[in-house]
């Protein structure tokens, strides 16, 4: 997304939204008052109090009665843990935030293409924001024969392999989408059967979630190397997505966007113009210096009816006009869609 970032406009909207949420979100207002922060005392978006994402596990963080929500997304979490809940009045704003940023980073050079989704269809995970995002991508930008390749029986390996072979024969670029550990299970199958692909030029991968699952941990560099050697997708065409149940916007790697524009810089995450991320020192909770690792704090204007400012346990560092993630804070609960898919694929028989 090449729109210039208007910090003055963002600041004005953020302060307006803070006032709205302070007035209508009782839990958030109490949180702010304990920090002596009110719409009168806060003069800049970076001063808006950020709520720990764990708060979404404890009570409804909404500006409206939660029973009026048309959609409630729940974090995947881990077995036996409480899950975050994000109540949405409607999907209109959520989709309006989702769509242009996806196109800018995953489909900057194509209007539509064949989408092969290594994730369950929405009926299997109806409360997953990732499931909704993948469904939007498939419906909006997928051509004929796009579809899902994971069901109650597990990853549909044979069908997926056959369809990837067909893409090779037809010289038809494909977009593979799924969690990192869904791809790990596909690559494990390829290794066990001696299968390799040379997917057509223009093919790409959008993976999401972390690289640590229930079965094992995979090094990101190793995984991206396997994408290239086993699937034939160069690392320039691998886009990692970062999103959260508690947030309406997503962040994407700049790799493909930069490759097509001849920009040379390290890959990093970028969000849309209506979101900002600050790296804060874990001890002082104040902004860390450029390049210094810290906790990610997001300000997302698409979170109109919940909380705009979110404090995460994700560790990262500032890079260029975005950030890169390095893991989770020590002691933070493991979470994420990649773990959920790994749990599913690790406990079902081969398809």
Sorted by where each begins, the domain ranges of the chain are: 7-70+274-328, 93-267+334-346
Torsion of CA 134, 140, 145, 151, to 10 degrees: 20
CA 121/CA 130 separation, integer angstroms: 10
Rg from Cα positions in the chain:
20
pLDDT score, position 349: 39
Closest CA to 48 of 301, 281, 242: 301
CA 291/CA 288 separation, integer angstroms: 8
Residue with tokens 């593979």: 176
> What does the pLDDT average to over 68-83?
81
Residue with tokens 């050697």: 229
- Decide: 147 and 117 in contact? Cβ < 8 Å: yes
Quick: pLDDT tens for 129-140: 999 999 999 999
Quick: pLDDT tens for 90-100: 999 999 999 99
Write the DSSP string, 235-276: GGGEEEEE--TT-S--EEESHHHHHHTT--S---EE--TTEE
Statement: residue 201 has pLDDT above 50 = yes
Q: How far is CA 289 from CA 37, 267, 283, 294, in A?
A: 24, 20, 13, 9
- Decide: 270 and 242 in contact? Cβ < 8 Å: no
93-267+334-346 and 7-70+274-328 share a CATH fold:
no
Query: Picking from 29-38, 151-160, 213-222, which range would have the lowest pLDDT averaged per residue?
Result: 213-222
Q: Between these two residues, 329 and 145, which has the higher pLDDT value?
A: 145
Closest CA to 328 of 298, 296, 302, 299: 296
Retrieve residue 332's tokens: 């933070």
> What does the pLDDT average to over 326-351?
50
CA 50/CA 32 separation, integer angstroms: 9
Reduced to 3 states, what is the DSSP secondary structure of residue 136?
Answer: helix
Statement: residue 77 has pLDDT above 80 = no
φ, ψ (nearest 5 deg) of residue 178: 170, 180
Predicted confidence band of residue 6 (pLDDT cuts 50, 70, 90): confident
Class of domain 7-70+274-328: mainly beta
Taking the alpha carbons of 141, 146, 150, 152 in that order, is the dihedral positive or negative? positive
Q: Which residues, in sequence order, are bridge partners of residue 85? A: 74
pLDDT score, position 288: 92
CA 275/CA 99 separation, integer angstroms: 14
CA 224/CA 235 separation, integer angstroms: 6
> Regarding beta strands 251-253 and 269-270, do their DSSP bridges make them parallel or antiparallel, or are they unpaired?
antiparallel
Statement: residue 80 has pLDDT above 90 = no
pLDDT score, position 290: 81
Burial class (CB in 10 A: 0-12, 13-18, 19+), 329: middle
pLDDT score, position 289: 79
Quick: pLDDT tens for 203-213: 999 999 866 55
Predicted confidence band of residue 82 (pLDDT cuts 50, 70, 90): confident
Statement: residue 319 has pLDDT above 60 = yes
> Regarding beta strands 147-148 and 51-52, do their DSSP bridges make them parallel or antiparallel, or are they unpaired?
unpaired
CA 288/CA 149 separation, integer angstroms: 42
Burial of 23-32, coded b for 16+ CB within 10 Å and e otherwise, reads eebeebeebb
Which fold, 93-267+334-346? Rossmann fold (3.40.50)
Average pLDDT of the chain? 90
């Amino acid at each position: 997304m090449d729109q210039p970032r208007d910090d003055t406009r963002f600041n004005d909207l953020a302060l307006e939204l803070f006032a709205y949420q302070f007035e209508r979100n009782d839990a958030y207002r109490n949180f702010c008052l304990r920090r002596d922060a009110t719409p009168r005392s806060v003069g800049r978006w970076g001063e808006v109090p950020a709520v720990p994402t764990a708060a979404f596990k404890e009570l409804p963080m909404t500006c409206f009665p939660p029973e009026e929500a048309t959609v409630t997304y729940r974090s995947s979490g881990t077995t036996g843990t409480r899950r975050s809940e994000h109540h949405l009045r409607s999907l209109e704003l959520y989709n309006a935030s989702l769509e242009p940023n996806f196109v800018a980073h995953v489909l900057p050079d194509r209007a539509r293409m064949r989408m092969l989704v290594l994730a369950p269809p929405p009926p299997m995970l109806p409360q997953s924001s990732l499931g909704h995002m993948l469904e939007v991508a498939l419906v909006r930008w997928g051509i004929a024969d796009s579809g899902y390749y994971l069901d109650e029986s597990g990853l549909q390996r044979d069908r997926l392999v056959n369809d990837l072979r067909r893409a090779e024969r037809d010289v038809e670029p494909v977009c593979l989408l799924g969690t990192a550990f869904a791809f790990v299970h596909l690559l494990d199958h390829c290794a066990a059967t001696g299968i390799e692909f040379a997917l057509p030029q223009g093919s790409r991968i959008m993976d999401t979630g972390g690289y640590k699952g229930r079965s094992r941990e995979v090094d990101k560099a190793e995984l991206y190397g396997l994408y290239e050697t086993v699937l034939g997708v160069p690392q320039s065409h691998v886009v990692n997505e970062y999103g959260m149940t508690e947030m309406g916007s997503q962040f994407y790697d700049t790799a493909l966007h930069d490759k097509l524009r001849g920009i040379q810089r390290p890959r990093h995450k970028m969000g849309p113009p209506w979101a900002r991320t600050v790296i804060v020192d874990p001890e002082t909770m104040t902004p860390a210096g450029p390049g210094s690792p810290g906790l990610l704090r997001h300000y997302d204007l698409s979170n109109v009816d919940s909380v705009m400012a979110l404090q995460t346990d994700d560790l990262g560092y500032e890079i260029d006009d975005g950030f890169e993630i390095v893991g989770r804070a020590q002691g933070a609960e493991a979470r994420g869609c990649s773990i959920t898919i790994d749990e599913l694929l690790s406990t079902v028989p081969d398809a």
